[in-house]
A = this chain, B = another copy of it.
Amino acid sequence: MANPGQCLLQCYFSECTIFGSTGEHVLKPKQTETTHESESHLTMQVVNHIRALIEEGALKPGEKIPPEREFAQKLKISRASLRTGIGYMAAMGIMKVRHGVGTFIAEGPPEIGKSSLGLLGALHGFKSWQMFEARLLLEGKMAALAAERGKEEHFTLLAEEVAEMYATIDDPEEYLIHDVRFHRTIAAASGNAILASLMETVTSALYDGRRKTVGLTRSLKGSADVHREIYRAIRTRNSKEAQRLMERHIQSAKDAQDDEERMASRKHKASKTPANGKVAV
């Protein structure tokens, strides 16, 4: 039932020499009927194709795909169409495009569509407190999971980051880096990449909104202490305590931001959006 000619890309791809494709992936022509599903034929075929390459291991995170002109020719489609497909995947954070260098499969913490949440927020009125509620839930749970499932290597990393935090207590910018890494490590230790992605998505939206000021106004010493306590709870596999501490930590971060916001709104003019707690992002 392998009718050739139905899908364009697949067939040509079998003669692609760059990837060891055995030409076996079958491009599902169109299988989503839930919504009409937009994204024209070719775009989706490109996406599905690259996806197939990834799934069969021909492309791994960090690797570079062929130059657009070359790739397009190989796939027997125009460069424009290929670019559409690449753009689609870049938008979702699957690929990274670097001007003058090349296009790469993304690596690092998966993040479900960078600004996605931010844009959606504009549409559906996401509020700041909702983000924190989501973080509270996600990070709390992940802290508990990390305590249950974490491996030695994770504990080591966590300890390092805590140490770095104490060391950079006078350098907010540097401190922030380790703060983020600490939370990411917990996410990794939780053993659930999906929850990690969701967290990454939410927090990145938070950062985009208010370019990192929270926490800088308060003593970083206290913050570092909290992280140390969280680490200890995880280290001793006390999941309940880890969750409790993490939730308290997030909550206090929220309080800090609320304070700051109240301060700012008092200073500024009370232009539009009367009392409505300021759109988060």
Classify the secondary structure of A's interface with B: helix
Let me know if A110 and B124 touch, CB within 8 A: yes
Given known pairs A94-B120, A117-B194, A119-B51, the reply for A87 and B43 (CB within 8 Å) is: yes
Q: Is residue A130 contacting chain B, with contact meaning CB distance below 8 A?
A: yes
Tell me which residues across on chain B come within 8 A of A121, comparing CB atoms.
Answer: 194
Tell me which residues across on chain B come within 8 A of A197, comparing CB atoms.
Answer: 117, 120, 124
Let me know if B194 and A126 touch, CB within 8 A: yes
Q: Nearest Cβ distance between residue A273 and chain B, in whole angstroms? A: 11
Q: Nearest Cβ distance between residue A137 and chain B, in whole angstroms? A: 5
* Bound form: Cα–Cα A211–B39 in Å: 20
Let me know if B110 and A112 touch, CB within 8 A: no
Interface centre among A32, A51, A118, A194 (most CB of B within 10 A): A194
Q: What is the chain B residue whose CB lies nearest that of A191?
A: B130
Let me know if B123 and A110 touch, CB within 8 A: yes
Tell me which residues across on chain B come within 8 A of A112, comparing CB atoms.
Answer: 112-113, 116-117, 120, 201
In chain A between 43 and 61, which residues have their CB closer than 8 angstroms to a CB of chain B?
Answer: 43, 47, 51, 54-55, 61
- Assembly of this chain: how many copies? 2
Q: Is residue A8 contacting chain B, with contact meaning CB distance below 8 A?
A: no
Q: Nearest Cβ distance between residue A55 and chain B, in whole angstroms? A: 5
Which one, A66-74, A96-104, A218-226, A251-259, is touching chain B?
Answer: A96-104
Given known pairs A92-B92, A123-B105, the reply for A141 and B137 (CB within 8 Å) is: yes
Let me know if B137 and A195 touch, CB within 8 A: yes
Q: Is residue A131 contacting chain B, with contact meaning CB distance below 8 A?
A: yes
Tell me which residues across on chain B come within 8 A of A7, comparing CB atoms.
Answer: none
Let me know if B113 and A193 touch, CB within 8 A: no
Given known pairs A92-B113, A208-B32, A211-B31, the reply for A192 and B123 (CB within 8 Å) is: no
Q: What is the chain B residue whose CB lies nearest that of A83?
A: B84
Q: Nearest Cβ distance between residue A277 and chain B, in whole angstroms? A: 13
Q: Is residue A90 contacting chain B, with contact meaning CB distance below 8 A?
A: yes
Given known pairs A124-B193, A195-B137, the reply for A97 and B130 (CB within 8 Å) is: no
Interface centre among A39, A43, A197, A279 (most CB of B within 10 A): A197
Let me know if B87 and A88 touch, CB within 8 A: yes
